[in-house]
Amino acid sequence: VMGGTTLFRFLRLPHAADLFAALGGRGILLRHFADRPDVLRAGLPGSEEEWQRLETVLAEWASRRELQSKGSKQ
């Protein structure tokens, strides 16, 4: 986490474009910056239900990345 406000956070991560696509495909919108490809801006969920949905989608993304990583090592 690079910073943010009460409404959003700036995130820096090596696979920002992949996360942007994965969450966007599930209806969770992020902002991806062309001039900073490793940075995303994420709006903070407004309810417990939205937090749970975000947590589920992030866990699915992380699991998929882990499986891809294991597959590439074989």
CB burial class (10 A; 0-12, 13-18, 19+) of residue 72? exposed
* Secondary structure of residue 50 in the 3-state scheme: helix
Write out pLDDT tens, residues 5-43: 999 999 999 999 999 999 999 999 999 999 999 999 999
pLDDT of 72 reads 73
Helix 16-25 and helix 48-73: axis angle, to 10°?
130
Between CA 29 and CA 36 the distance in angstroms is: 17
Domain parsing of the chain, residue ranges: 3-73
pTM of the complete model beyond 0.75: yes
Between CA 23 and CA 57 the distance in angstroms is: 7
